[in-house]
Structure 1
Amino acid sequence: GKRIIDELIKFSKVNYSFDLHLSGYRMAPNRCNTNENNLLIFVRNSRSFSFLLIDIDWPDNFGDEKFTIERKLAIPPQLVIIIDNVSYKTNVLEMENDIKSRYDNVVKVIRLKNKSQFDTNFVKVEFNSPKARDDILNKGYMTIDYIKHDVKEYLPQASILICSNCMGLGHFCNQCKQTNATCKVCSEQVKDVSTHQCQGVVKCLHCGGAHHSNDLKCMSLKNGLPKKEKNDTKIENDIKAAQLSNGRLDGELKHQVKVIEQLFIPVLDDIMTVLTELNIKDGRAIDADFRSRSGLWKSELKAYWDKRLKL
């Protein structure tokens, strides 16, 4: 595995002048044929992820081993932005098509859901290029269907990296410095977990509680996570506020529709009537096509207004 990784890093540097930064790798024999292995690669930053994601001319083998590349499109947070205040009535598929027509390197557009799996007014946009994402984030907005939408950084819930060898935090098993392995059930250190005869007495290595040492519900593990940043908390609060105000916003929108129907449409009719009268001189129309064009203008204005109301 290490020889393949070394050749991969060298290949990236020599052929593409790119410094590929990896945080680790792991051999995984799952779902493989005889004499085959999966090599899972973990990158250190979004630029390295983006480099491996794009289609380039890879060699036929690394370390005298033939290989195929399988990309699991799970875009990391470093390549994601959040769009604020997207109407619940907005069709996300149409929104995605419009975004892809205006911006490069967009992979997918997804409406976020809350814990109850209800839609929120936050939309996630995934990119395959850190530069494209950062440029939009620095600008602070995206133009979608001729409307500017504020954007912000995506801050997902923090996850915990637990070593499968020592049950410690923050590193992979191939980076572990502990010689013996730790049983996740009883927390006892043994030479070989596969031959370990565990007595089944469940004891967490981190807190001593009656659960496995890699149980993500362990309070000691949770306390080991970094505290939430202000922006992270703000996003969560914004989502909750949006959910609570959904009914109020719908009520306000209906009220605005009634006001427009009662005021704007009659005024539009009056304007067209006055213009039609001004178009007549000495019993003849100055512009013979005015009446047909005025009807077209009115229809277009109504269509435009209806479209705005649906946003």
Structure 2
Amino acid sequence: MCNINNFPKEINNIKVTPVLPTRLPPRNAIILKFIDNTIKLEDIQVHVKEKLKSVYTIEEMMGTMTTYRSRHIRIDLLSQDECTSTLNSGKFAIRGHLYDVDEYLPSPRILICNKCNTPGHVKKYCKSTIEICKRCGNDRHDGADHKNCIIKCHHCVENHEAVNFKCKTISKFRQNLLNKLKENKHLLPLHIKFYIPQQYRDRKGEKALISSNVGIHQSQDQYKEFYHNNQQDFNVWPRLNWNLSLPSATLNSMLIWNFELKHI
């Protein structure tokens, strides 16, 4: 649905103006890390589009910007093969400098109620009797100008909006959520990867949260592929003689085990 040619121009004589997605799924995204702030985004776009043919979007990642040094650049690619090959290279050259390439991993999202600004539920299930302003913490419908009110978080009483991730209440909820996910990795979908922000990591090098069943699933897939590809190969699967006799020691052990199993 990211290609405008896949949309009809009109339906029942009504002209259709498609709204394309701003981003592709995370599995189609890569990150160029620590790009110097002196290099403009327009120049980066030119360099990237010269080397990668399936570019969909290029944007600066807002949470990675520092005042004087660098920021990360997110690139969404239409081709999964080009995405994989770029990740495998590990580096990307811009203006004679090599920058690290890494896969894009989304952080676990949290629900924040837009009625009371508290994490963990939505407006439909909110028990608050008033709509609370995320800037000042007062009733949003008290007649005051809540676009220019004083910013003071009503969770921790600090100088930021109540839905800001800097808030101790939001941060603590996010930490607890990640801990729950870490304790129940077996419940995560196999195809999902979550990015773990640095302040929430238990140990160095732990940047992604994935299902604990991934290894089992991969080994099962490899076995199925091996069996399917070598099903008729008699060197891999030798044909057994129908009247093959087993050693007496083996037969005796089998009888013992059969007795034990029946007893259990």
Could you say which TM-score interval applies, normalised by the shorter chain? 0.3 to 0.5
Structure with the bigger percentage of helix: 1
